[in-house]
Structure formats: structure tokens, C-alpha cells
């Protein structure tokens, strides 16, 4: 089992990140869909949807949404939100997507770069390309390698309820590795996250090899223009 298969399926993962700013996320998604001029009832895939908050919000904006995630527990949780225009399914993003052609695929909040094998990264782009209508959009919201390398905080402690998460971060080769240790009910736990520091050039290479054209890069969730010091690297690709 790979690290993300076990860690993302635990309640501790969701507890650790329970302070995420969903107002900022919803504002970002609102700006993004407006910028793309996606008409009402457009079909969107939320790829790596987690517990479905962004899928639900997209659906409230009037879109026909399919939320996909590898975590069975997350998808089971999300089933309560389903309606005629919002569905969820367990899916490995490396595999072909069984769905009607889509207007857009969103991969948000660093939900890419988990794989050691470069071919797995390429498979993600290919599966997204094949799922889109001609002219469809792929939004890949990723970390900015330069920003991460300059701003890494090696040690931190995060308290959530009764649990104290001790976090160690380091850069090893092309990866940023987050080591997570904590205790709960007398038991010690150890997990880690490992995300590849893809360069802008590498990401564009994967995309263009599949037939995408990169038409824009934003540097933050306010959709400001990307610069080397930007906190995010939000890629907008179009299927030719």
C-alpha cells in the first residue's frame, strides 16, 4: 500500500487539516469558474475530491459534478450529498475515467505529485485528457517549487483537540517529505506525505505530450499572475 492510500483513509488526516480555510477555497472556485466562463449545467470532475466540500460547492453553483477520490471512506462519507447532478465514486486518478465527456476537470489544493514513477504522472494527464470534450479545461492547482524550497519550516507542532501532531519537513531530491507523528489513546502513530517538486517545465511537458495547451498560470487563489515568488502554481490547460 502506498503512503497516500493509508494516510488519506484515516480520520487523523482529516483532523490534522480540519482548519483549512473553506471561505478562501469557495472564493477561489467562484473566481475560477467565472474566469473560465463555464455555463450553468457544465459537467465538471473534481479529481481527488476528498470529503467532497468543493464538489458540493461547485454543485451549488449550478454545475453537474462528479467527485472522484481513491479513499473509500471519503467517498462513502460523500454519498450523503448526492443528487441528480452530484455523484461520487472511488477512482485512482491514474486510471481511465468512465464518464460522459466533461467540460472541465479540476485537481485542486495539491492533489498531484504523489507518485514515484514518472509514468504514473503522465497517466493522470492522459486520463484527464481523454475525459474532456474538445476545448475542455484542466485546472491543476499545484505548489510552486521555488516558493516551497525557500519557505520550508523544518519542525512544527499542531494541536487538534487532544492530539499533538509533531511535523518534520525536509526536501530530499525532487520531493518534499512531511513526517507526521502523534499519540492517541495510548497508541503511537507515524505517517508521512511525499510530494514531488515538479517544475513548471515538467508539468507543461506532461500536458503537451497528451495534447494539452497551457493557456494561463495563476500564482495564488485570488488568481493573480504567476511569479517565481508566488505561493501557488495554478495551471490552466485546454484540450486542443
Segment 27-39, tens digit of pLDDT: 999 999 999 999 9
Dump pLDDT digits (tens) for 177-198: 999 999 999 999 999 999 999 9
**Residue 56: pLDDT over 90:** yes
Confidence band for 1, pLDDT divided at 50, 70 and 90: confident
**Residue 227: pLDDT over 90:** yes
Domains for the chain: give ranges and CATH numbers: 21-144+199-239 (3.40.50.150)
Q: For residue 37, what is its C-alpha cell?
A: 466562463
Predicted confidence at residue 9, as pLDDT, reads 87
Q: For residue 41, what is its C-alpha cell?
A: 449545467
What are the respective helix, strand and coil percentages of the chain, to the nearest 5? 30, 35, 30
**What string of H, E and C letters represents the secondary structure of 115-141?**
CCCHHHHHHHHHHHHHHEEEEEEEEEE
Confidence band for 234, pLDDT divided at 50, 70 and 90: very high
Percent share of the chain, pLDDT over 70: 100
Mean pLDDT of the chain: 95
What b/e readout covers 49-63, taking b as 16+ CB neighbours within 10 angstroms?
A: bbbbbbbbbbbebeb
Supply the pTM of this predicted model.
0.93
Amino acid at each position: 500500500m502506498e503512503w497516500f492510500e493509508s494516510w488519506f483513509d484515516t480520520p487523523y488526516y482529516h483532523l490534522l487539516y480540519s482548519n483549512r480555510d473553506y471561505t478562501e477555497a469557495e472564493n477561489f472556485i467562484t473566481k475560477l469558474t467565472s474566469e473560465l466562463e463555464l455555463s450553468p449545467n457544465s459537467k465538471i470532475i473534481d479529481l481527488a475530491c476528498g470529503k467532497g466540500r468543493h464538489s458540493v460547492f461547485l454543485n451549488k453553483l449550478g454545475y453537474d459534478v462528479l467527485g472522484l477520490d481513491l479513499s473509500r471512506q471519503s467517498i462513502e462519507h460523500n454519498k450523503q450529498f448526492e443528487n441528480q447532478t452530484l455523484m461520487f465514486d472511488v477512482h485512482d486518478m491514474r486510471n481511465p475515467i468512465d464518464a460522459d465527456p466533461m467540460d472541465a476537470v479540476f485537481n485542486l489544493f495539491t492533489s498531484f505529485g504523489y507518485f514515484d514513477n514518472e509514468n504514473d504522472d503522465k497517466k493522470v494527464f492522459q486520463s484527464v485528457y481523454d475525459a474532456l470534450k474538445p476545448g475542455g479545461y484542466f485546472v491543476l492547482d499545484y505548489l510552486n517549487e521555488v516558493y516551497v524550497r525557500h519557505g520550508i519550516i523544518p519542525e512544527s507542532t499542531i494541536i487538534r483537540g487532544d492530539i499533538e501532531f509533531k511535523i518534520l519537513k525536509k526536501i530530499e531530491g525532487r520531493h518534499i517529505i512531511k513526517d507526521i507523528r502523534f499519540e492517541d489513546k495510548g497508541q503511537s502513530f507515524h505517517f508521512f506525505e511525499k510530494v514531488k517538486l515538479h517544475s513548471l517545465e515538467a508539468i507543461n511537458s506532461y500536458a503537451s505530450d497528451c495534447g494539452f495547451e497551457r493557456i494561463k498560470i495563476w500564482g495564488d487563489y485570488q488568481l493573480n499572475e504567476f511569479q517565481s515568488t508566488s505561493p501557488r502554481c495554478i495551471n490552466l490547460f485546454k484540450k486542443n
